[in-house]
């Protein structure tokens, strides 16, 4: 699942057709920036979905070197894999406990995020069975309506707080639904509810803010903030740096005549004799098909528009207006860089940058600089 090849040197083997260059210094600086914005809180890293597509092992190891000790993933299999990389870290599983999974948590020293009363009962039972307190996180929903104790389960929790004595609750958390929009009144509504719930619980650390929540200000920070997309510059802030350069090689250059079509379904008709370059990247690599006839790539700073549909393994671009000295079969073109960001591509096709980053496929070689 996370076995894509990685390079750590400047030499690029000639057989490579696609390449993700990941700027580890940018990731480290983004982490430091986010820590400084929430300087009175600990800063946890959310590294689910293969660290948003940037490499779970490499990113987590880097962040641990920068002082991060708390890591959140979505699912148990991610946590078990991460434990092989991070021996001395707190690893939290956002999806919590499924039936018959307690052994995996205990044997790998993983911490479940308890999302409903059934999980609480299960984990308390396991703690009593083993005769020791087991660590956990309590997640109470304050408005997302996705994960976390709902109203009924929250009422059960408050009437059964003695169950917590069998456990070691480390954090009380919730998740903001609209932190990307600082003007949304739901942010303050959730914060007030969060504080109201906090007063009814035994003393433990509190965590509400994701990356967007960090930028909402100190009132949202509490004891721990949890940053994911901000680590990779996938958040609109001048204080964060993008970390990705995505490249593909030109495989072939051809000339096509006026009136001829390009690609499946003949969705692009040429209005002039054109020079076309076929790139070795397609939607199987995560280069989104919705960019067909919309996006462009950069060749030595020149824009080369995508023509025709992006297919499984190939993308065709029009290089007619680019000097022939700037490209050749085997040369690299840039699909994502600091000026042509994932956020820009996402905006073009009506999605978000995380959808694009997490789809970047295992066939793309990762190079960490």
Rounded distance between C-alpha atoms, residue 177 and residue 156, angstroms: 24
Residues listed for the chain: 369
**pLDDT greater at residue 107 or residue 14:** 107
Reading the block at residue 260, the tokens are 């001829």
Query: H or E segment at 46?
Result: strand 42-46
Contacts of 166 (CB under 8 A, 6+ apart): 124, 127, 128, 133, 134
Distance, CA of 302 to CA of 299 (rounded, Å): 5
Catalytic residue numbers?
48, 264
Which of 232, 258, 276 is where one domain is finished?
232
Using CA atoms, how far residue 249 sits from 68, 341, 347, in Å, is 36, 19, 25
- Write down the pLDDT at residue 6: 61
Q: How confident is the model at residue 14 (pLDDT cuts 50, 70, 90)?
A: confident
pLDDT at residue number 12: 81
What contacts 148, CB < 8 A, 6 or more positions away? 115, 116, 139, 140, 141, 142, 174, 175
* 227, containing H or E segment: strand 224-227
Statement to judge: residues 198 and 137 lie in one domain:
yes
The count of domains in the chain is 2
Q: Taking residues 253-269, what's their average pLDDT?
A: 98
Predicted confidence (pLDDT) at residue 344 exceeds the cutoff of 90: yes
Q: What count of other Cβ atoms lies within 10 Å of the Cβ of residue 155?
A: 12
Distance, CA of 176 to CA of 185 (rounded, Å): 11
At 325-337, the pLDDT tens digits run 999 999 999 999 9
- The reported pLDDT for the residue numbered 299 is 98
Residue 5: per-residue pLDDT: 55
CA distance 189 to 180: 15
Within a domain: 17: no
d(C-alpha 274, C-alpha 257), whole Å: 6
- Between CA 289 and CA 338 the distance in angstroms is 22
Residue 346: pLDDT over 90: yes
Same-domain check for residues 77 and 171: yes
Residue 187 lies in a domain: yes
Q: CA-CA distances (angstroms) from residue 47 to 55, 72, 102, 265, 300?
A: 9, 6, 22, 39, 33
- Domain range for 164 is 24-232
Between CA 260 and CA 23 the distance in angstroms is 41
Chain segment 228-239, per-residue pLDDT in tens: 999 999 999 999
pLDDT at 13: 85
Q: At residue 4, does pLDDT exceed 60? A: no
Alpha carbons 49 and 95: distance in angstroms, whole number:
13
Residues 286 and 356 in one domain: yes
d(CA 325, CA 251): 16
Same domain, 269 and 200: no
> What is the per-residue pLDDT for 33?
98
Determine, yes or no, domain membership for 18. no
What is the C-alpha separation between 318 and 276, in angstroms, rounded? 5
Q: Which residues lie below 8 Å from residue 204, measured CB to CB, with a gap of 6+?
A: 138, 169, 170, 171, 172
Are residues 223 and 267 part of one domain? Answer: no
Domain co-membership, 227 together with 253: no
355 and 213 in a single domain? The answer is: no
DSSP string across 158-172: HT-GGGGGGEEEEEE
d(CA 132, CA 127): 5
Query: Could you report the per-residue pLDDT of 80-94, keeping only the tens digit for each?
Result: 999 999 989 999 999
* Domain end call among 206, 232, 258: 232
Q: Are residues 30 and 101 in the same domain?
A: yes
Q: Find the CATH number of the domain harbouring 340.
A: 2.40.37.10
Helices (H), the chain: 24-37, 48-52, 56-65, 76-83, 102-107, 117-130, 151-158, 185-198, 211-214, 342-349, 353-359
Residue 168: how many CB atoms within 10 A of its CB? 14
CATH no. for residue 125?
Answer: 3.20.20.10
- pLDDT of 3 higher than 60: no
Tell which of 189, 204, 232 closes a domain.
232
Q: Are residues 156 and 55 in the same domain?
A: yes
Q: What is the pLDDT of residues 19-63, one digit of tens each?
A: 999 999 999 999 999 999 999 999 999 999 999 999 999 999 999
Q: Give 8's pLDDT tier (boundaries 50, 70, 90).
A: low
Phi-psi region of 110 (alpha: psi -120 to 50; beta: other; left: phi over 0): beta
CA atoms within 13 A on the CB side of 16: 21
Mean residue pLDDT of the chain comes to: 96
Which residue in 334, 265, 280 sits closest to 312, CA to CA?
A: 280
Per-residue pLDDT, averaged over 223-246, amounts to: 97
Q: Are residues 99 and 133 in the same domain?
A: yes
């Amino acid at each position: 699942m996370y076995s894509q090849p990685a390079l750590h040197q400047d030499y690029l083997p000639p057989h490579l057709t696609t390449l993700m260059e990941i700027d580890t210094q940018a990731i480290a600086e983004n982490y430091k920036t986010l820590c400084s914005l929430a300087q009175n809180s600990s800063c946890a890293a959310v590294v689910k979905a293969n660290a948003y597509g940037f490499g779970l092992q490499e990113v987590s190891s880097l962040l641990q070197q920068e002082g991060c000790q708390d890591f959140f993933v979505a699912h148990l299999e991610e946590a078990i894999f991460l434990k092989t990389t991070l021996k001395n870290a707190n690893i939290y599983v956002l999806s919590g406990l499924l039936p018959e999974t307690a052994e995996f948590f205990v044997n790998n020293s993983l911490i479940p995020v308890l999302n409903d009363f059934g999980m609480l009962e299960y984990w308390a039972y396991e703690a009593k069975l083993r005769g020791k307190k087991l660590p956990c996180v309590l997640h109470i929903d304050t408005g997302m309506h996705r994960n976390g104790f709902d109203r009924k389960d929250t009422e059960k929790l408050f009437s059964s707080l003695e169950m917590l004595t069998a456990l070691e609750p480390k954090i009380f958390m919730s998740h903001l639904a609209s932190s990307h929009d600082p003007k949304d009144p739901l942010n303050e509504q959730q914060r007030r509810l969060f504080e109201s719930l906090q007063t009814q619980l035994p003393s433990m650390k509190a965590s509400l803010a994701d990356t967007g929540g960090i930028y909402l200000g100190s009132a949202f920070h509490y004891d721990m903030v949890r940053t994911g997309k901000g680590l990779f510059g996938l958040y609109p802030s001048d204080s964060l740096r993008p970390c990705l350069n995505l490249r593909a090689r030109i495989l072939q250059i051809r000339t096509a005549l006026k009136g001829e079509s390009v690609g499946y379904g003949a969705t692009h008709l040429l209005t002039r004799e054109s020079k076309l370059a076929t790139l070795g990247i397609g939607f199987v690599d995560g280069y989104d098909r919705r960019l067909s006839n919309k996006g462009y790539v950069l060749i030595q700073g020149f824009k080369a528009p995508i023509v025709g549909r992006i297919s499984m393994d190939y993308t065709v671009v029009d290089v007619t207006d680019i000097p022939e000295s700037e490209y050749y079969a085997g040369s690299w073109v840039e699909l994502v860089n600091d000026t042509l960001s994932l956020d820009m591509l996402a905006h073009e096709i009506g999605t978000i940058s995380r959808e694009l980053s997490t789809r970047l496929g295992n066939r793309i070689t990762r190079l960490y600089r």
